[in-house]
Amino acid sequence: MAEDITRDLVVYLQSISYSGSTSATLLSDPILIFIDSTDPHLWLPGSVCDAFEKAFGLTLDSQSGLYLVNDTHNTELLNSNAQVSFRLSDVASGGDAVTITLPYNAFALTAKAPLVNDSSYYFPLKRAANSTQFTLGRAFLQEAYLSVDYERGTFNVSACAWHENAEQDIITITSKDYAPTSCSGSTCSPGTSSSNDSSSLSHGAVAGIAIAALVGVGILAAVLLFFIRRQRQKTAYKATPPEPDVSVLSGPVHNAPPPDPSDQSTPHPPFWSADAIFSGASGSNNGHSSGSGQTHEQSVDERGMELDGHGTQVNPVYHELPATEVEKMRPETELERSNIRFV
């Protein structure tokens, strides 16, 4: 196959010969030509087209650009058993070659609108401007088989075999890496590819997939663990009631009601005085002051309780502050609110 992928199926057309009412050589100098199934025409050099015109009595129609053939002329060509033979090879001269012979009936194509106004026969021949347009189109493939092996970069052109009642013989084009099965007796072992890694992943790809899977599993496990711990914390918080603050419930000491002096069953709580504590800590002991030479009676006892100067504990005096009753406000009605004027 040629390197140009737009014109890859290129062969050497060594010669073209005509046989019918007369015989003639239509092409004697070999040319490289492209086989294309998408175009119905034969694109040949101008000199070869002139030889076709002479052999078949063709006339180019200037309006349609086709070699039109009327019914009378078409019948004459069919009766003449005219044929055209194409010799193909992969070399310019000699070598292995195949000859594809086309009867005139393969060239008798029908042109219809919009190519022509009235339906007519035409000969699928076109003048090529240069060698890049040399083409054997679908008209040629009516009598030829074309098989292409793109994997190996080769193709094959064969002549059609017109044998009645011929048996079907289909041959598979296998891959170039295919190894045939080996059979011994009634057992067969499948063949293996010459490249063991062609149908399997590489070691690097397998390792990458395994690492990605492990990372994904780790992330999923971490997310699940986070949600489980969070749910357990919520459940534990709901199940454990809050512990009350005893100091808040009991309130300060000075809010308590004054004790009954006549009740001797319950000991009175000691009255703590900050001045008594600090004065006792500053060195007052046994009625003597360390800061002066004067003496006085003990003002606090050994527990830091305030004394009246005669060794008697001073009991706290509680005073209840007067209060006034606040009039309760009734809620305003919708009508009263609507009558409020704003300035």
DSSP string, 203-242: HHHHHHHHHHHHHHHHHHHHHHHHHHHHHHHHHHHHHSPP
> 15 has which bridge partners?
87
- CB burial string 244-256: b at 16+ within 10 A, e below: eeeeeeeeeeeee
Closest Cα to residue 132, out of 40, 3, 7, 42?
7
Give the confidence band of 240 by pLDDT, cuts at 50, 70, 90. Answer: low
- CB burial string 135-156: b at 16+ within 10 A, e below: bbbbbbbebbeeebeeeeeebe
Closest Cα to residue 157, out of 306, 311, 9, 6?
9
If you average pLDDT over residues 30-53, what whole number do you get? 95
Give the confidence band of 199 by pLDDT, cuts at 50, 70, 90. Answer: very low
- How far apart CA 251 and CA 256 sit, in angstroms, is 8
44 burial via Cβ count (<10 Å: 0-12, 13-18, 19+): buried
pLDDT at 293: 47
Q: For the ranges 4-13, 26-35, 207-216, 316-325, which has the lowest average pLDDT?
A: 316-325
Q: For the ranges 49-58, 127-136, 260-269, which has the lowest average pLDDT?
A: 260-269
Cβ atoms of residues 12 and 32 within 8 Å: yes
Q: Indicate if the pLDDT at residue 30 is higher than 50.
A: yes
The one-letter amino acid code at 77 reads L
> 84 has which bridge partners?
18, 102
Q: Which domains does the chain have, with CATH numbers?
A: 5-161 (2.40.70.10)
Q: Indicate if the pLDDT at residue 141 is higher than 60.
A: yes
**pLDDT, greater one: 340 or 307:** 307
| Maximum average pLDDT range among 97-106, 111-120, 317-326 | 97-106
**pLDDT, greater one: 314 or 226:** 226
Give the confidence band of 323 by pLDDT, cuts at 50, 70, 90. Answer: low
